[in-house]
Structure 1
Amino acid sequence: MESFLAPISSYLNTLGPSVVLPVIITLFGLLLGLRLGKSFRAGVTIGIGFIGINLVIGLLAAQVAPAATGMAEGLGVSLDVVDVGWPSSAAIAFGSSIGAMIIPLGLVVNVVLLLTGLTRTFDIDLWNYWHSAMIGALVGAVTGNYLLGLLSAAVHLALILAMADLTAPIVQKYFQLPEISFPHGTSAPYGLLAIPMNKVFDAIPGLRRLDATPEAIQKRFGLFGETLMMGLILGVLIGILGYGFDAPAEDSTAILTLAISLAAAMFLLPRMVAILMEGLMPISEAARTFVQKRFPGRTFYIGLDSAIAVGQPSVIATSLLLVPITLLIAVILAPAGNRVLPLVDLATIPFIVAVMVPIFRGNIVRSVIGGGILIGAGLFIATWIAPTFTQIAVESGFALEDGQATISSLVDGANPLTGLFFAGAELGTVGVLATAVLCLAGVVAIRFAMKARDRRALAAETTDGAAARDGAGA
């Protein structure tokens, strides 16, 4: 089975999400009862949106990475673990033995959880199953046991779906995306951790009343509070940190190019996301009709890539602020044991904060503080797993470039769940099984929490309805 599916997995990785998702969306639209023409147009439009988003993210990576390297060199810090970014991480994950099985495994897990009522999300973002494949590959490499790796991948999928369910109402309200959730391996765990962090921020007098949404910032600072101008200013700042105040002419040009590139990213990302949403809307409407007809009384969410959230002003503003902060944190933590130099994945910080931002109610200050704390802690995880990450890369056929003796990534290498599963694997079979039990208990706990939330919402609606009737009667 594995040998049969390996070429398919490799081919999907070669195609990438911009090609794979249009095909999946087209088939899904037909399944929901849409005409072929409408389904196909929706799929192609979504593919175009992804290409646009990836072009902007690629622009950021190309411009920020040299400045990041220059900053580390200027501060005399040796960070020898290279952040190869999510595209390479996805290729490594799909190229692993677990990657060959991950899509059929993910579909089975998703259907079982839906049928048993443990989760509500139907995840059509099959491409991002690579996050679970990476977890399985790491566990399999540490334990030397393929089945334990496969088990870990399945449990990781289940937990991500449950996390998506838990944060779905907040995501739907903030981003105005009815019946949508984000079962994204990068975004979902950070969203879960943001919930208790937000309660802590609420208890801090200085943060409790601070209104730091993009709207409030623009109102206070006018032109310089606009997200476009924030990108320009941050570009200059990052460029100066990377190339120096007394930069020669060619580096001065690089600073100005970086500044206008970040401004362009702030301007273009929302428009690329709008294209993505144009393709999504007919699928979302068809899915809503399909569920209401066949499962009356049940609530389902359509699981999508958190890419549809990265163009929101608070998300992109938080992400750009975190670029220089992440670099400074990496340098500051070097004496404490961090060896990772954030590079390629600096451009994908929007995916890290995509679910955190709505939990922090769009407050950029809270989001930057929360993101900085979690990314800082994650750098130690990325350093810890780097040797195993590199081993998997080599076994998957990934060609290391000159100077890349050890590699890792910021997106999944620094992820809290990566640390949890890797710690379990380090303890052997017992540790892996204990981690699986703990995570499945978390799935059940989230289900009970959601039922309690549903009851509270129903009680509130009943109370409001009764009050309205009493008012009308008076």
Structure 2
Amino acid sequence: MQTLQSIIDGFFQFKAYVMLPLIVLVIGLIVRMKLKKALMASLQLAAGFAGIFIAFDFFVANINPAVQALVQVRGLDLPVLDVGWPPLAAITWASPVAHISIPLIIVINIVMLSTNLTKTIYIDIWNYWHFALLGALVLSVSQSLLLGLLATALIAIYTIKMADWTGPLVKREMGMEGITLSPLSAVGLLPYAQGLDWLYDHIPGLRKLDYNPSKKQHEPSVFSEPMVIGVLVGIALGLAAAYPLKEMLELSIHIAAVMFILPKCGNLIGEGMGEISSKLRDTIHEKFPKKTGLYIALDSGVVMHNQSILTTGIILMPIAILIALILPGNKTLPLGDLPALIAQVAVIVLVSRGNVLRSVLTGIPLVIGYLLIATNLAPMITALSNKVGAATPDGVLITAMTDGGNPIRYWGLTLFQGNLVAIAIIPIMILLLVLSHSRYKREIGVIAN
């Protein structure tokens, strides 16, 4: 067991932008791509992901002081710190659940593929920790490794199916053939996004409103440019934090720069994965002619160049801060996970056909859920972080706004605790899944025609 733990620790000491390109390089060579092409594609993927990490780190370094200043100026009491996902990953890979989760999920994916229960090849091993985290949380409250592994398996199966149903949306909105999204934090929200999108379609007036900066327009508005949205968000935050003019303008330009850089990084990822994913599908089709229409599941970074996704995420950031300041019961100060909102809303925007107005409306209840759940789980996350050596100052509670407040994972945790409200939600979830499957079938029909 210790040897297996050492292997896992060694494997996950690498950043996602190192590990995933290495995996993709090996896959490219296995499917007989030329070494030069496989290597260049992997380097493009690595550079794209590294660029996203660098942009997010830069963003956090610039926005955190503004948010802290805002809290001090307004005299607010938000003692729970949003430190982002790293402590959650530490909790996950220190758990006994992690010893088995990687081979377990690989076997689940193979079985689902061989029995035609999925068309998704889930190669994004880095994001397996999203599944294992639920298992680690269930283990901590139940003291049962079996229940922890069952929770990990169930949420993996759910995510792989949602990745299936997201594939046609990626094709429709991004023009990317055979690609779908992998993270639970994005595709797990598909039923919720489909449900609200269906509701908007039945509200007179609202159903006709459309603001889509990703559409090609003959005379595009200045507000269709994400950099402009970034400047406006920076000015709003600077004013709220009582920043001097110099610092406020610098913050605005920094956010605009992030909005410019992220699409370029997304393009690199898309270019790097395009040829490899096509070659992988062709190879599988040669070996198994009946396996058609397969999807390669990739991190949300692959769609990060979509202007509607970027604009929605950036608009939701100051909204998240405002909600945090006034939401009863919230004690979480959004900080480290704020940039993650861009990736989290990717599927919401795809469902909304790039309509930022709908996407923001859908994102607001989600942000409320993130904050309340993250606040609720903060004592457990802090205790588990201290237990695995990620110590926090005495009296300080930590959480992660989006990953720590993920509603699907939280629902799974409360189900395993026998929570009656969680059980009562099951019929609603079934209805949303039926709606999502119906819309998936419709998209498949449109593509086929």
Both structures adopt the same fold (TM-score exceeding 0.5): yes
2:106 equivalent in structure 1: 107
Residue 468 of structure 1 corresponds to: none
Change beyond 3 A, Cα 1:318–1:455: closer
Task: Return the offset for 1:96.
Answer: 2.5
What amino acid sits opposite 1:406 in the alignment?
L
Query: How far apart are the structure 2 equivalents of 1:292 and 1:454?
Result: 22
Moved more, 352-361 or 407-416: 407-416
Residue in structure 2 matched with residue 183 of structure 1 by the alignment: 182
The reply to whether residue 414 of structure 1 matches residue 408 of structure 2 is no
Cross-structure match for 2:380: 388
- 5 Å matches for 1:164-183? 164-183=163-182
AA in 2 matched with 1:354: A
Query: Are 1:41 and 2:40 matched, yes or no?
Result: yes
Paired residue type of 2:417: E
Task: State yes or no: 1:332 paired with 2:326.
Answer: yes
Deviates more, 1:62-71 or 1:21-30: 62-71
Offset from partner CA, 1:336-369 (integer Å, 9 cap, x none): 2111111110011111101110111111111111
**C-alpha displacement of 1:439:** 12
Structure 1 distance, partners of 2:131, 2:62, is 30
Alignment of 1:191-270 (within 5 A): 191-214=190-213, 222-241=221-240, 243-244=241-242, 247=243, 251-270=244-263
SS of residue matched to 2:85: helix
Distance apart, 1:194 and its partner CA? 0.5
Q: How many Å separate the matches in 2 of 1:258 and 1:219? A: 31
2 CA distance for matches of 1:369 and 1:179? 29
Alignment of 1:113-128 (within 5 A): 113-128=112-127
Distance in 1 (CA, whole Å) between partners of 2:395 and 2:48 is 32
Deviation at 1:268, TM superposition (A): 0.9
Do structure 1's residue 315 and structure 2's residue 300 form an aligned pair? Answer: no
Partner Cα separation in structure 2 for residue 392 and residue 229 of structure 1 = 41
CA distance in 2, matches of 1:190, 1:172: 18
For 1:431 and 1:196, the matched residues in 2 are separated by 20
The answer to whether structure 1 residue 352 and structure 2 residue 351 are counterparts is no
Aligned to 2:396: 405
Deviations, residues 131-177 of structure 1 (Å, cap 9, x unaligned) = 11111111111111122111111111110001111121012210111
Of 244, 260, 272, which aligns to 2:265?
272
List per-residue Cα deviations over 1:295-342 (Å, max 9, x = no partner): 324321111111111231001111111111001111111xx2111111
Are the counterparts in 1 of residues 136 and 148 from structure 2 also a CA contact under 8 Å? yes
Determine which of 277, 288, 300 is the counterpart of 1:306: 300
SS in structure 2 opposite 1:15? coil
Structure 1 residue identity aligned to 2:402: V
CA spacing shift, 1:86–1:221, aligned 2, 3 Å:
same
Shifted more, 344-353 versus 216-225: the winner is: 216-225
Q: Which structure has the larger Rg over C-alpha atoms? A: 1
Contact 2:370 2:402 in 1 (8 A): no
- 1:370 and 2:362 are equivalent in the alignment: yes
Distance 1:451 1:403 in 2: 49
Change (3 A) 1:403 1:197: farther
C-alpha contact (below 8 Å) 2:233/2:252 kept by paired residues = yes
Shift of 1:75: 2.7
* Contact 1:234–1:259 (8 Å) recurs in 2: yes
Whether the aligned pair in 2 keeps the contact of 1:217 and 1:225 (CA below 8 Å) is no
Change in CA separation of 1:69 and 1:49 when aligned onto 2, cut-off 3 Å? same
Are the structure 2 counterparts of residues 8 and 239 from structure 1 closer, same or farther at C-alpha, using a change threshold of 3 Å? Answer: farther
Structure 1 residue runs of 5 or longer lacking an equivalent are 462-474
2:288 to 284, 295, 301: 295
Question: SS at the partner of 2:51?
Answer: helix
Identify the residue that residue 89 of structure 2 maps to in structure 1.
90
Distance 2:35 2:427 in 1: 44
> How far does residue 372 in structure 1 lie from its aligned partner after superposition?
1.1
Residue 414 (structure 2) pairs with residue 423 (structure 1): yes
- Give the stretch that moved more between structures: 76-85 or 354-363: 76-85
1:143 to 2:146 alignment? no
Give the TM-score taking structure 1 as reference length. 0.87
How well do the aligned residues superpose, as a CA RMSD in angstroms?
2.9
Deviation >6 Å, runs of 4+:
216-221, 437-448
Q: Verify the 8 A CA contact 1:96 1:395 in the aligned structure 2.
A: no
| SS, match of residue 344 in structure 1 | coil
After superposition, the Cα gap between the structure-2 partners of 1:415 and 1:3, relative to the gap in structure 1 and judged at 3 Å, is same
Three-state SS of the structure 1 residue aligned to 2:289 is coil
Higher mean C-alpha deviation, range 298-307 or range 419-428? 419-428
Deviation at 1:81?
1.3
CA pair 439-200 structure 1, distance change in 2 beyond 3 A: closer
Question: How many matched pairs?
Answer: 447
1:281 aligns with 2:274: yes
User: Any unmatched runs of 5+ in structure 2?
Assistant: none
Residue type of the alignment partner of 1:322: L
Output the CA distance in 1 between the equivalents of 2:126 and 2:200: 35
Which has more helix, going by share of residues? 1
Identity %: 33
